[in-house]
Amino acid sequence: MSEKLKKYQEKRDFVKTSEPKGKPANGKQRKKKGLKFVVQYHAARTTHFDFRLEWQGVLLSWAVPKGPSYNPKDKRLAVHVEDHPVEYADFEGAIPKGEYGGGTVMLWDEGAWEPQEDFEEGLKKGSLKFKLSGERLHGKWALVRMAPRENESAENWLLIKEKDEFAAPGTGISDYDTSVRSGRKLEKIAAEESSQTKVIPFQNLSVHLARSVDKLPQEDGWAYEIKYDGYRILAYAEDGSVKLMTRGGHDYAAKFKSVAKALETWSKGRSMVLDGEMIIADENGKSDFQALQNYLKKPTGKELTFIVFDLLAADGKDLRDLPLSERKSALEKLMKGAPASVVYSKHTLGNGEEIFQAAAKIGLEGIVGKKLDSRYSGTRNGDWIKMKCYNRQEFVIGGYQISEKKAGGIGALLLGVYEGRKLIFAGRAGTGFGQRDAESLLKKFDKLRTEISPFKTAPEFDETETVFLKPRLVAEVQFAEWTDENVLRQASFKGLRTDKKPTEVVRETPLSEKDVKSEPKRETKKEATVLGIPVSSPDKIVFKDPEVKKLEIAQYYAAVAKRMMPYAGGRVLSVVRCHKGVSAACFFKKHPVSEGEGTAILEIENSEGEKSDYFYLKDERGLISEAQLGTLEFHVWGSRADDLERPDMMIFDLDPDEGMGLGQIRQGVKDLKKVLDSLSLQSFLKTSGGKGYHVVVPFRPTAEWDAFRDFSRQVAQLMEKKWPERYTSNVRKIKRKGKIYIDWVRNGRGATSVAPYSLRARPGAHVSMPIAWRELSTVAPDGVDMFDALKRLKKADPWKGFFQIGQQLQI
Q: What is the pLDDT of residue 645?
A: 95
- 715 and 759, same domain (yes or no): yes
Residue range 480-490: mean pLDDT, rounded = 88
Among 22-36, 299-313, 641-655, the range scoring the smallest mean pLDDT is 22-36
DSSP codes of every residue in 113-159 = EEESS-HHHHHHHTEEEEEEEESS-EEEEEEEEPPPPTT--SEEEEE
Q: What is the pLDDT of residue 360?
A: 86
Give dist(CA 505, CA 594) in Å, integer: 14
Highest mean pLDDT among 28-42, 173-187, 712-726: 712-726
Helix axes 662-678 and 705-722, enclosed angle (nearest 10): 120
Q: Peptide bond before 546: cis, by omega within 30 degrees of 0?
A: yes
Residue range 251-280: mean pLDDT, rounded = 93
Residue 476 contacts residue 177 (beta carbons within 8 Å): no
Whichever domain contains 485, its CATH number is 2.40.50.140
| C-alpha closest to that of 186 among 122, 253, 92 | 92
Radius of gyration of the chain (CA): 30
Q: What is the pLDDT of residue 481?
A: 85
- 654 and 617, same domain (yes or no): no
Among 171-175, 396-400, 701-705, the range scoring the smallest mean pLDDT is 171-175
Residue 458 contacts residue 425 (beta carbons within 8 Å): yes
Residue 116 placed within a domain: yes
Residue range 171-199: mean pLDDT, rounded = 79
- Whether 718 has a pLDDT exceeding 50, the answer reads yes
Could you tell me how far CA 295 lies from the centroid of its own chain?
Answer: 33
Residue 517 placed within a domain: no
Give dist(CA 739, CA 655) in Å, integer: 9
Residue range 102-117: mean pLDDT, rounded = 94
Residue 406 contacts residue 388 (beta carbons within 8 Å): no
| C-alpha closest to that of 314 among 366, 274, 361, 278 | 274
Kindly indicate the confidence band of residue 284, based on its pLDDT and cuts at 50, 70 and 90.
Answer: confident
Q: What is the pLDDT of residue 519?
A: 46
Residues 6 or more apart in contact with residue 652 via CB below 8 angstroms: 672, 694, 695, 696, 697, 712, 715, 716, 742, 743, 744
- 90 and 141, same domain (yes or no): yes
Whichever domain contains 533, its CATH number is 3.90.920.10
- 294 and 373, same domain (yes or no): yes
Q: What is the pLDDT of residue 194?
A: 66
- Whether 515 has a pLDDT exceeding 70, the answer reads no
Give dist(CA 794, CA 809) in Å, integer: 34
Q: What is the pLDDT of residue 1?
A: 46
| Run of H or E residues at 720 | helix 705-722
Give dist(CA 775, CA 795) in Å, integer: 13
Residue 766 contacts residue 776 (beta carbons within 8 Å): no
Give dist(CA 801, CA 780) in Å, integer: 24
- Whether 689 has a pLDDT exceeding 90, the answer reads yes
Among 326-340, 344-358, 501-515, 535-549, the range scoring the smallest mean pLDDT is 501-515
| Exposed e or buried b per residue across 715-735, where buried means at least 16 C-beta atoms within 10 angstroms of its C-beta | bbbbbbeeeeebbbbeeeeee
- 223 and 365, same domain (yes or no): yes
Q: What DSSP state is assigned to residue 658?
A: T
- 52 and 182, same domain (yes or no): yes
Highest mean pLDDT among 318-327, 507-516, 631-640: 631-640
Residue 121 placed within a domain: yes
Kindly indicate the confidence band of residue 29, based on its pLDDT and cuts at 50, 70 and 90.
Answer: low
- Whether 513 has a pLDDT exceeding 70, the answer reads no
Residue 616 contacts residue 554 (beta carbons within 8 Å): no
Residue 35 placed within a domain: yes
Q: What is the pLDDT of residue 41?
A: 96
Residue at 92: amino acid letter? E
Q: What is the pLDDT of residue 144?
A: 97
Q: What is the pTM of this model?
A: 0.51
Q: What total number of domains does the chain contain?
A: 5
Residue range 475-493: mean pLDDT, rounded = 90
Q: What DSSP state is assigned to residue 486?
A: S
- Residue 561 vs residues 78, 141, 440, 569, 743: alpha-carbon distances, Å: 39, 40, 43, 9, 27
Whichever domain contains 299, its CATH number is 3.30.470.30
Residue 567 placed within a domain: yes
- 624 and 658, same domain (yes or no): no
DSSP codes of every residue in 548-562 = EEHHHHHHHHHHHHH
Percent of the chain with pLDDT over 70: 95
The residue annotated as part of the active site, out of 4, 227, 500, 501, is: 227
Residue range 235-262: mean pLDDT, rounded = 91
Percent of the chain with pLDDT over 90: 61
Q: What is the pLDDT of residue 796?
A: 86
The strands making up 211-212's β-sheet, listed across from edge to edge, are 211-212, 384-388, 366-371, 222-226, 348-349
- 698 and 713, same domain (yes or no): yes
DSSP codes of every residue in 491-554 = EEEEEE-SSS-GGG-----PBPHHHHHHHHHHHT-TTTEETTEE-SSTT-EEEETTEEEHHHHH
Give dist(CA 157, CA 251) in Å, integer: 58
Question: Could you report the per-residue pLDDT of 634-656, keeping only the tens digit for each?
Answer: 999 999 999 999 999 999 999 99
Q: What is the pLDDT of residue 149?
A: 84
Give dist(CA 222, CA 307) in Å, integer: 20
Q: What DSSP state is assigned to residue 23?
A: P
Give dist(CA 762, CA 759) in Å, integer: 9
Last residue of a domain, one of 195, 226, 252: 195
Is 227 a known active-site residue? yes
Among 318-322, 507-511, 592-596, the range scoring the smallest mean pLDDT is 592-596
Mean pLDDT of the chain: 89
Give dist(CA 99, CA 369) in Å, integer: 33
| C-alpha closest to that of 764 among 706, 664, 690, 692 | 690
Kindly indicate the confidence band of residue 512, based on its pLDDT and cuts at 50, 70 and 90.
Answer: low
- 47 and 96, same domain (yes or no): yes
Reported residue count of the chain is 811
Residue 341 placed within a domain: yes
- 469 and 613, same domain (yes or no): no
- Whether 32 has a pLDDT exceeding 60, the answer reads no
Residue 376 contacts residue 325 (beta carbons within 8 Å): no
In sequence order, the β-bridge partners of residue 81 are: 61
Residue range 550-572: mean pLDDT, rounded = 94
Q: What DSSP state is assigned to residue 274?
A: E
Q: What is the pLDDT of residue 708?
A: 96
Question: Could you report the per-residue pLDDT of 728-766, keeping only the tens digit for each?
Answer: 998 777 777 889 999 999 999 999 999 999 999 999 999
- 159 and 217, same domain (yes or no): no
* Backbone φ and ψ of 401, nearest 5°: -95, 135
Last residue of a domain, one of 195, 221, 254: 195
Residue at 182: amino acid letter? S
Among 164-178, 592-606, 792-806, the range scoring the smallest mean pLDDT is 592-606
Give dist(CA 111, CA 133) in Å, integer: 6
Residue range 319-342: mean pLDDT, rounded = 92
- State which residues form the domain around 345: 211-388
Residue 313 contacts residue 275 (beta carbons within 8 Å): no
Residue 206 placed within a domain: no
> Which tops the pLDDT comparison, 666 or 350?
666
**341 CB-contact burial (10 Å; exposed 0-12 / middle 13-18 / buried 19+):** middle
Last residue of a domain, one of 388, 420, 448: 388
Give dist(CA 410, CA 396) in Å, integer: 16
Give dist(CA 780, CA 760) in Å, integer: 15
Residue 709 placed within a domain: yes
Highest mean pLDDT among 238-242, 363-367, 772-776: 772-776
- 484 and 557, same domain (yes or no): no
- Whether 595 has a pLDDT exceeding 60, the answer reads yes
Residue range 21-37: mean pLDDT, rounded = 65
Residue 684 contacts residue 720 (beta carbons within 8 Å): no
Task: Strands of 569-644 (E only): list them.
Answer: 572-577, 587-589, 599-605, 611-617, 631-636
Residues 6 or more apart in contact with residue 783 via CB below 8 angstroms: 687
Residue at 478: amino acid letter? Q
Give the torsion sign (CA, 158, 159, 163, 167).
negative
Q: What is the pLDDT of residue 243?
A: 93
- Whether 773 has a pLDDT exceeding 70, the answer reads yes
**133 CB-contact burial (10 Å; exposed 0-12 / middle 13-18 / buried 19+):** middle
Highest mean pLDDT among 45-49, 314-318, 376-380: 45-49
- Residue 528 vs residues 531, 551, 579, 765: alpha-carbon distances, Å: 10, 7, 17, 21
| C-alpha closest to that of 86 among 797, 806, 794 | 794
